[in-house]
Amino acid sequence: MSVFLYRLGRACVRHRWRTIGAWMIASVSLIGLNAAIGGEMTNGFTAPGFDSQKAYDLLADRFPAEGGINAQVVIEAPPGTLLTDPAQRKTIEQLTVELRALDGVEVVVPPIAGQTISPSGTIGLFRVAYNPDLTPSVVMLETLERAGRNVIDAEQEMTIEFGGDLFNSVDEPDTGVGELLGLISAVIILLLAFGSIVAMGLPIGLALFGLALGIGGVIGLVAIGLDVPEWTPNMASMIGLGVGIDYALFVVTRFREGLADGLTAEDAAGRANATAGLSVIFAGGTVVIAILGLAMAGLPFMTAAAIAVSIIIALMVAASITILPALLGWAGHRINPKRKRTQAYGDRIPRVSHWQRWGDHVSKHAWPYMLSTLVLLLALTAPVLDLKLGFPDQGNAPEERTARRAYDLLAAGFGPGFSAPLLVVVDSSTVTVQQLNALAHTVRQDPGVAFVQPPEQSPVGEAATILVFPTTAPQDPKTVELLTRMRGPIFESALGDTGVAHVGGATASFADVSGRVQGRLPVFIAGVIALSFLLLMLVFRSVLVPIKAALLNLLSIGAAYGVLVMVFQWGWGRELIGLNETVPIVSFVPMFMFAVLFGLSMDYEVFLLSRVKEEYLLSGDNSQSVIFGISNTARVITSAALIMISVFLGFVANPDPIMKMMGLGLATAIFVDATIVRVVLVPASMKLMGDANWWFPRWLEWLPRVDIEGETRLPPREVELTGQSAN
């Protein structure tokens, strides 16, 4: 493989125009194809087999008027008046007419005394149901708001706000400010690390190119056949920028080392491709495999997002071993700052001596460093014991948004559970009217229920719906307990057969997704750890090194989970990231984080330990090999980690809690992995284990060998100026 990559790198240098031209043609074709036939992204969280999905399917099949997206219009009477006053009733009638006239609206249920008018008589709820064939859009949201505010103007002093599933689907404002700041930070770090605009520009440019191609061409094409969630481009931007810059950084670093050793630009590019490029393929492949493993959750929206993000990562890898060598051949010695271009390679001053001193220092005090860092990581991981999976609701939105104000009005007027009711859907073709009424009565008697709307049957009587308003908020565990009781003993006592009734709605869908993820997360983590063990054992021909790597990866990821609990659930420092209130950890975030961090930590692990193993095979001295590995990789690892952290932290500024969690969690894990783990725990533990690090039983010798960064099979080196070869 290394020989192939060496030849590929040199061919890309010799045929630069063809290489870049081929990528340009492919890019234009993909982006054009996406513009012509690309699919739309969705905001669904349902999946086959879920009870909430069965409720939706039953509605779509037998009661389509109730199967579309719903919106809520919440009004509050002027101070000192009631909604039942003549003037307010007239306004409600006008608003009802205006809402029913909107394109796509199927049903409008105005506020009804004793049902959707609060006990105080001051707050009322309109329920607006859209045609199920319509895809939620910003236009629908804006039209709804405009129609409502046209009827209720400031002179009437009546308050009107808007919420519901429609706003969950499309009212998520994007922001590029944080992402831009993260990118600027990456530019600064690369300039400081390389001291060259060219060396800085290549990783940044390559990552942006791959990202533009992925988001502009790939995601839309994936959406043709799969329900790609609307947050996928943000997720792809976060991960794609990080790994794209990281992978290019490793290749550029090796290229510069080759030039510093006196190699020709073509030979340096080929060797960088054969060594660092092979590591990029290995690291990128592990990220892709891990992310595709998210399909184990059995959630179509996660599978679709995983496929889209994986393709973008694969594009970054492909660009790093083709476009990048071509650009490096163009750059040549301009990749270095001017002061170093004329420096003879034999006169170079040894680099990063401070990392050599640090490695030696850690080796001499291995026990104190290992024990103290283990205590620190365990302390950071401890909050995971309080981890609660769920989904944020409109009560967690910024107070300036209308959906949040609608939520607050409903909570004040009816209780915290009124904004997200549970929708009971019954197959009424096998159920009598008496049984339907008995079901509504039984549900109403539950202590967790605040209010139940009477059953509403479809025109032909094949399906019926019952809206159930809990006494507790959507995120409250008691709401999930109510959901479980309804699907079990309540349905059984009222209907006898629980299979004829299902519970849907946003709250039920989120609860189903959380339950599925929580049940499969341990299996997923075990599978990822087993894969990492196998890959590292093949690469390093060792049993203890993979075990140690798996344990340390668990600690760094566990620390990131712990920080998420402290910030998002406990509220520690939440104001610093623009979070108004505590929120549960979004159910699929831990699984997505684990997949990404597994691949990234493997990247750093291979980059560091390959240098350690290389030196150990030459010297046989474990302690000196560890110091050698630290001194030759720590600078690149810390630079790469700083870039990753900057990019990930940029997404913390995004108003979407999912992006905040992913950004903060990934940044924390990378910080812990690249500092505490890679430059403290790894050298300390390897020092203490000694030669046992490289123990490999004879009965496993049949396993294939994987040479990640070796140059043993490459042709002799081509040195500039002298025209002679050197080994």
Cα–Cα dist 557/529, whole Å = 12
pLDDT tens for 690-716 read: 888 888 888 888 877 766 655 666 777
Cα–Cα dist 518/297, whole Å = 9
Task: Please give the C-alpha separations between residue 138 and each of 233, 380, 456, in angstroms, as whole numbers.
Answer: 17, 41, 30
Tokens of 713: 């099979």
Beta bridge partners of 263: 719
- Residues with pLDDT less than 70, the chain: 43-46, 65, 67, 154-156, 169-179, 338-353, 498, 706-713, 720-727
Question: So what's the pLDDT on residue 122?
Answer: 92
Domain ranges of the chain: 1-37+195-349, 69-170, 354-398+518-715, 399-510
In degrees, rounded to 5, the angle at the alpha carbon of residue 563 between the alpha carbons of residues 559 and 565 is 115
Phi, psi values for residue 423, rounded to 5°:
-105, 110
Question: So what's the pLDDT on residue 435?
Answer: 87
Cα–Cα dist 21/289, whole Å = 30
SS3 of 419, please? coil
Beta bridge partners of 124: 75, 117
Question: So what's the pLDDT on residue 176?
Answer: 59
Q: If one looks up domain 399-510 in CATH, what number appears? A: 3.30.70.100
Q: If one looks up domain 1-37+195-349 in CATH, what number appears? A: 1.20.1640
| CA dihedral sign, ordered 32, 35, 38, 43 | positive
Q: Around Cβ 372, how many Cβ atoms within 10 Å?
A: 14
Question: So what's the pLDDT on residue 338?
Answer: 65
Tokens of 176: 């590029």
Contact in structure between 655 and 172 (CB atoms under 8 Å): yes
Cα–Cα dist 73/77, whole Å = 13
Cα–Cα dist 277/280, whole Å = 5
Single out the residue of 676, 444, 652 nearest to residue 559, CA to CA. 676
Q: Around Cβ 93, how many Cβ atoms within 10 Å?
A: 12
Element (H, E) at 74: strand 70-76
Alpha helices, DSSP H only, in 321-392? 323-331, 338-341, 353-364, 366-381
Q: Assign domain 354-398+518-715 to its CATH superfamily.
A: Multidrug efflux transporter AcrB transmembrane domain (1.20.1640.10)
Tokens of 631: 């001194």
- Could you tell me how many residues make up the chain? 727
Task: DSSP for 674-715, please give it.
Answer: IIIIIIIIHHHHHHHHGGGGG---GGGTTSPP--SS--TTSP
Q: What is the DSSP letter of 83?
A: T
Question: So what's the pLDDT on residue 11?
Answer: 92
pTM of the predicted structure, to 2 decimals: 0.80
Looking at domain 69-170, its CATH class is: alpha beta
Tokens of 610: 């390959």
Phi, psi values for residue 79, rounded to 5°:
-55, 135
Question: So what's the pLDDT on residue 529?
Answer: 83
Residue 387, class by beta-carbon neighbours within 10 Å (0-12 exposed, 13-18 middle, 19+ buried)?
Answer: middle
Same fold, 1-37+195-349 and 354-398+518-715: yes
First to last CA, the chain: 20
Cα–Cα dist 719/379, whole Å = 52
Single out the residue of 249, 269, 247 nearest to residue 201, CA to CA. 249
Contact in structure between 149 and 99 (CB atoms under 8 Å): no
